[in-house]
């Protein structure tokens, strides 16, 4: 089990959690990017209670229920792209990615898929096979999946790179060595990517990368699928994270916040993809209560302008963290898109050697000071921030002040490492 510090939640409301002793914590995790509308939102609660009273469960694969059809149509309407679309429902992000992994070869007649090193797509066999994260490294599978480097401006393998634009050498790698050799383009169904690589360390690709990737895929007749499980539904300041690049997705996978806290995932995309196989079903996929949670979550996101709030609060966090970074010896990089942000800690700002132990100390110290955060990244040295999208300026400023204090303590060595021993983290 991944744990970071001895916290156990007894209750939660808005952007705060409370432990059994009644101590309140500012939650900068949003429960892994699930609590989009904050905890206990009255509109989500009322929708769930109503759904329970109407019909608390149903098996969508046996008979349709109105809510699921309405949600499918709403999600298809939200996804940009002038083509016939369809939606499929499951229960968790992993099964949504499993579903695309299974359907893509059947729909295209092409057997292979390209994904990215650092990508986290889930823990079922198919989604783990797509993943390039150390968490799934123990699973051997997916002989049809080729993993290529994700464009990381801070750790580019091809020389200086910036978020405003890059040389696209990594795409040359994909074109020449994946499509040109081990995953021949004519036998490749799709490329699957996170528009911001989350568990891989909150990596935001250079601005010109996704448009160039789309162009490359189009040239080879390869579909482009975005895993929006963690970064979708408003988190980046757009409804879908890939939208800031201006490209069109052939399909997206959704999960985490979709069901308003109840288990619900979706694949939304080209009709040809989702028409292919009726056997990709889960008994409780699209069950009435999670569907009601999803409709209410989308209602709240729209009614409360949470997509815009994510953009504004994300900028405020990014600026504040940037100022703190200017005074810190441990912070190598600060990055983010809306309310998914990463603070990468390094031993030495010149060599950029990762500082995972300092990241472990920092999240523990934050916990002691009343802020919940976790770390991510291939080296476990990136502080991940994915708060509920309802966070306001007061809480952002509270976080920044606690963060600077916790960082100062870690930098000054005011931390007893014995406290870390029971917590494995990633
Ligand atoms: C980008 C991404 N895709 C898929 C998943 C898997 O979702 P779940 O854990 O709900 O199965 C995760 C989980 O962290 C994720 O971050």
Residue 23: is it exposed, middle or buried by C-beta count within 10 angstroms (0-12/13-18/19+)? exposed
With cut-offs at 50, 70 and 90, classify the pLDDT of residue 61.
Answer: confident
Q: How far is the CA of 378 from the centre of ligand 1 (A)?
A: 16
Half-sphere CA count of 396, side-chain side, radius 13 A: 23
Tell me which residue of 274, 103, 256, 293 sits closest to 192, measured CA to CA.
103
Read off the tokens for 139: 């699973």
Q: How far is the CA of 265 from the centre of ligand 1 (A)?
A: 10
Nearest CA to ligand 1 atom 13: 122
Q: State the pTM of this model.
A: 0.97
Residues in a beta bridge with 26? 16, 371
380-412 pLDDT tens trace: 999 999 999 999 999 999 999 999 999 999 999
- Under 8 Å between Cβ of 112 and 189: yes
296-305 pLDDT tens trace: 999 999 999 9
Tell me which residue of 315, 289, 258 sits closest to 92, measured CA to CA.
258
Would you give the distance in Å from CA 319 to the centre of its chain? 22
Is residue 260 scored above 90 in pLDDT?
yes
Q: How far is the CA of 122 from the centre of ligand 1 (A)?
A: 5
Is residue 306 scored above 80 in pLDDT?
yes
pLDDT of residue 140: 77
Which ligand 1 atom lies nearest to the CA of residue 94? 11
pLDDT of residue 63: 87
Residue 76: partners with Cβ closer than 8 Å, 6 or more residues away: 85, 86, 87, 268
- Under 8 Å between Cβ of 4 and 374: yes
Does 25 qualify as catalytic in the annotation?
no
Ligand 1: which of 119, 123, 230, 337 to mutate, judged by most atoms within 8 Å of the beta carbon? 230
Please compute the mean of the pLDDT values over residues 129-138 and round it to a whole number: 90
Half-sphere CA count of 32, side-chain side, radius 13 A: 11
Ligand 1: which of 2, 30, 94 to mutate, judged by most atoms within 8 Å of the beta carbon? 94
Which ligand 1 atom lies nearest to the CA of residue 123? 11
CA distance 360 to 37: 28
Would you give the distance in Å from CA 354 to the centre of its chain? 22
Handedness of CA 160, 163, 169, 174 (dihedral sign): positive
Q: Strand locations in 283-349, DSSP E?
A: 331-337, 340-345
Please compute the mean of the pLDDT values over residues 49-75 and round it to a whole number: 93
Residue 251: partners with Cβ closer than 8 Å, 6 or more residues away: 100, 190, 223, 225, 226, 267, 268, 269, 270, 273, 274
CA distance 381 to 363: 10
Please compute the mean of the pLDDT values over residues 320-329 and round it to a whole number: 98
Read off the tokens for 31: 């429960």
Ligand 1: which of 93, 97, 382 to mutate, judged by most atoms within 8 Å of the beta carbon? 93
Q: What is the DSSP letter of 181?
A: I
Domains and CATH numbers, the chain: 9-37+305-420 (3.90.1150.10), 44-303 (3.40.640.10)
DSSP string covering 154-171: GG-TTS--BTTB---HHH
* Residues in the ligand 1 pocket, defined by CB under 6 Å: 32, 92-94, 97, 120-122, 194, 198-199, 227, 229-230, 255-256
Of 120, 150, 367, 375, the catalytic one is: 120
pLDDT of residue 278: 64
180-216 pLDDT tens trace: 999 999 999 999 999 999 999 999 999 999 999 999 9
**166 φ, ψ (degrees, to nearest 5):** -140, 175
């Amino acid at each position: 089990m991944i744990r970071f510090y001895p916290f156990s939640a007894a209750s939660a409301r808005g952007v705060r959690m409370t432990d059994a002793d009644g101590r309140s914590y500012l939650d900068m995790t949003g429960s892994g990017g699930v609590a989009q509308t904050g905890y206990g939102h009255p509109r989500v609660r009322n929708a769930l209670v109503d759904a329970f009273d109407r019909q608390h469960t149903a098996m969508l694969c046996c008979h349709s229920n109105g809510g699921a059809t309405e949600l499918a149509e709403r999600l298809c309407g939200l996804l940009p792209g002038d083509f016939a679309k369809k939606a499929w429902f499951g229960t968790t992000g992993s099964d949504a990615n499993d579903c695309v992994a299974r359907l893509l070869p059947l729909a295209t007649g092409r057997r292979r898929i390209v994904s990215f090193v650092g990508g986290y797509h889930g823990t079922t066999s198919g989604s783990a096979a797509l993943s390039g994260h150390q968490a799934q490294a123990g699973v051997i599978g997916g002989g049809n999946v080729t993993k290529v480097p994700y464009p990381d401006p801070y750790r580019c393998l091809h020389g200086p790179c910036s978020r405003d634009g890059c040389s696209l050498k990594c795409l040359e790698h994909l074109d020449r060595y994946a499509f040109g050799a081990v995953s021949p383009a004519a036998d490749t169904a799709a490329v699957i990517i996170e528009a911001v690589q989350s568990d891989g360390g909150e990596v935001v690709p250079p601005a010109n990368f996704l448009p160039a990737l789309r162009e490359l895929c189009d040239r080879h007749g390869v579909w482009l699928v975005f895993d929006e499980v963690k970064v979708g539904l408003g988190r980046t300041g757009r409804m879908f994270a890939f939208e800031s690049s201006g490209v069109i997705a052939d399909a997206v996978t959704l999960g985490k916040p979709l069901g308003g806290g109840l288990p619900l995932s979706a694949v939304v995309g080209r009709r040809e993809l989702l028409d292919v196989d009726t056997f990709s079903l889960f008994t409780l996929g699209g069950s009435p209560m999670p569907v009601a949670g999803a409709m209410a979550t989308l209602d709240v996101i729209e009614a409360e302008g949470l997509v815009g709030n994510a953009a504004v609060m994300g900028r405020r966090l990014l600026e504040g963290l940037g100022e703190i970074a200017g005074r810190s010896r441990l912070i190598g990089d600060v990055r983010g898109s809306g309310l998914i942000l990463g603070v990468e800690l390094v031993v030495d700002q010149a060599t950029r050697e990762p500082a995972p132990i300092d990241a472990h100390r920092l999240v523990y110290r934050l916990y002691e000071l009343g802020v919940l955060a976790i770390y991510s990244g291939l080296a476990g040295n990136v502080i991940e921030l994915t708060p509920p999208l309802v966070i306001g300026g007061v809480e952002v400023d509270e976080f920044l002040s606690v963060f600077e204090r916790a960082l100062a303590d870690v930098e000054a060595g005011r931390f007893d490492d014995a406290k870390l021993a029971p917590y494995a983290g990633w």
